[in-house]
Amino acid sequence: MIGILPDFMKLNMRHDLEGFLWRHVMAYIPHTSKCGATGCGYDSFTASAINPACLECNGRGLVYNWHQVSLHVRPNWIDPAHNNVFAGVITADIGDAQFQAKIRDKALWEKIRDTEHAYVLMDGKKLHPESIADNSVEGLTTIDIRCHIISEAKP
Ligand SMILES: [Zn+2]
């Protein structure tokens, strides 16, 4: 993709990679454990709580603990209402987002992608990564992440 861009655009991208459009977003990764309330627990046969009236787990049998992590990304909304840095260069559905992220965070992004209910919160929207691909630009390797919106969230 980069090879077809005029030189001035390569320079802009290089500049972007070095910093000023990067920002932090919070990722939330659930870790579930079996409900430990007295008389409750997880029934794997029914996939619900042993005590359906349990207030601790709301009858799910599982308790969610959310692991929060801050990630450094360069976001690009595929949405006319947001600033579309690569307008005309990438193809994606309206409402999706693409992140450029640090290669050092790749394993973390893969964990978010592979964990059910895990999401990234950005601009009041919950996003889940669909695909992760390496991206090398002039010796700098980053990863490109395609996300879809799960829901609007209240910050
Ligand atoms: Zn319970």
Residue 57 is assigned to a structural domain of this protein: no
pLDDT top residue among 148 and 54: 54
Instruction: Assign residue 41 a region (left: φ > 0; alpha: ψ between -120 and 50; beta: otherwise).
Output: left
Beta strands in 35-61 (DSSP E): 42-43, 48-49
pLDDT for 21: 76
Residue 102 is assigned to a structural domain of this protein: yes
Cα of 121 from ligand 1 centre, angstroms = 28
Cα of 38 from ligand 1 centre, angstroms = 8
pLDDT for 132: 92
Contact by Cβ (8 Å): 44, 25 = no
Residue 46 is assigned to a structural domain of this protein: no
Look at the chain and report how many structural domains it folds into. 1
Cα of 41 from ligand 1 centre, angstroms = 6
Domain that holds residue 119: 2-29+66-152
Look over the chain and give the mean of its residue pLDDT values, rounded to a whole number: 79
Residue 51 is assigned to a structural domain of this protein: no
Residue 80 is assigned to a structural domain of this protein: yes
Contacting residues for 146 by C-beta, under 8 A, at least 6 apart? 92, 96, 97, 98, 129, 130, 131
Rounded to the nearest 5 degrees, what angle is found at the Cα of 104, between the Cα atoms of 101 and 105? 55
Cα of 31 from ligand 1 centre, angstroms = 16
Residue 137 is assigned to a structural domain of this protein: yes
Task: Report the b/e string of 85-96 with b at 16+ CB within 10 A.
Answer: bbeeeeebeeeb
Q: What is the pLDDT of residues 74-120, one digit of tens each?
A: 887 765 555 444 444 444 455 578 888 999 999 999 999 999 899 99
Cα of 79 from ligand 1 centre, angstroms = 41
What mean pLDDT is predicted for residues 56-64? Answer: 93
Residue 132 is assigned to a structural domain of this protein: yes
Tokens 């009858």 -> residue: 59
Is pTM beyond 0.75? Reply is no
